[in-house]
Structure 1
Amino acid sequence: MVTAARFSLVAARLLPHFSLLALATLFVTAGVFHFLRPGPFVRIVPPGLPAPEALVYLSGAAEIGLGLLLLPRRTRRLAAWGLVALLVAVFPANVYMARLPGGGIGAPQWLLWARLPLQGLLILWAWQYTRRPAPAATAGSALD
């Protein structure tokens, strides 16, 4: 029989792993979409920046690479700092998107503005892996 205390202990041990995997998956998936459907990303590159399509592919590659580099413990801190920097760097594109009618993708304007604070939450989520040791992985885990 599983007691509430035992469940809490197991959950406390697994939650950091799920959080790390979720963050890595989020960035790898977003990065892949930069290559599969670059159009919406190209449309939100602020005017004045050179080679919007190249910037989209570069940011997509960075998302994929940094998302994958979050998984091994030895590269986690550097990858997390990279994600923080990337999120700060692309924030102007998100503001530009919020200012476009429908965000260039036909989304409701309120949603485009409401998602801007989510960038801050993503920065905090990535930042947590820059400042403390990552959760201890079990022997043979992909997170070692």
Structure 2
Amino acid sequence: MARHPHVLAGSLAAALTVTGTLHFVNPRVFEGLIPKALGSPRAWVYGSGAAELACAAAVAVPATRRVGGLAAAALFVGVFPGNVKMALDSHPGARHWSRKPSVAWGRLPLQVPLVAWAWRVARSADRD
């Protein structure tokens, strides 16, 4: 990861913008993460997409970067149970690539560097 705080924050903001936008462009990809007990998956997908876009905006602005980084870290932790659900529900014959076991299980350890990235952005905000 980049050492310069602006590059670190800018790349996180870009990643959050892309994934947040995907929640609105192709919500069906994310609906499998939502437990049935929570009700309408589409509403949760749109809500989490909006949260990612809000975190992206906060991270992009130096004055709100610390809060944005902390919020992004919390968001990455918060969606982890959904990623576990998707992994448990995955099967080799799935039609969509995101439902295949290799992808669903492979994404679980990726949450750790995402949380660390957001945390590092929050910590570096004071040095901007």
Q: CA deviation at 1:124?
A: 0.4
Q: TM-score, normalization: structure 1?
A: 0.76
Aligned-CA RMSD value: 2.1
Gaps of 5+ in 2: none
CA distance in 2, matches of 1:58, 1:129: 23
For CA contacts below 8 A with separation 6 or more, give which structure has more relative contact order.
2
Deviation digits for residues 57-84 of structure 1 (CA, Å, limit 9, x no counterpart): 0100110111111011110111111111
Instruction: Note the 1:1-144 alignment, pairs <5 A.
Output: 15-102=4-91, 105-107=96-98, 108-134=100-126, 136=128
Structure 1 residues 104 and 16 mapped into 2: Cα distance closer, same or farther (>3 Å)?
Answer: farther
| Number of equivalences | 124
Greater alpha carbon shift after TM alignment, 97-106 vs 47-56: 97-106
Q: TM-score, normalization: structure 2?
A: 0.85
Task: Please state whether the residue corresponding to 2:125 is helix, strand or coil.
Answer: coil
- Could you list the runs of 4 or more consecutive aligned residues of structure 1 that deviate by over 4 angstroms after TM superposition? none
Gaps of 5+ in 1: 1-10, 137-144
Partners of 1:67 and 1:79 within 8 A in 2: yes
Structure possessing the higher radius of gyration over alpha carbons: 1
Percent of aligned pairs with the same amino acid = 36
The residue aligned with 1:5 is none
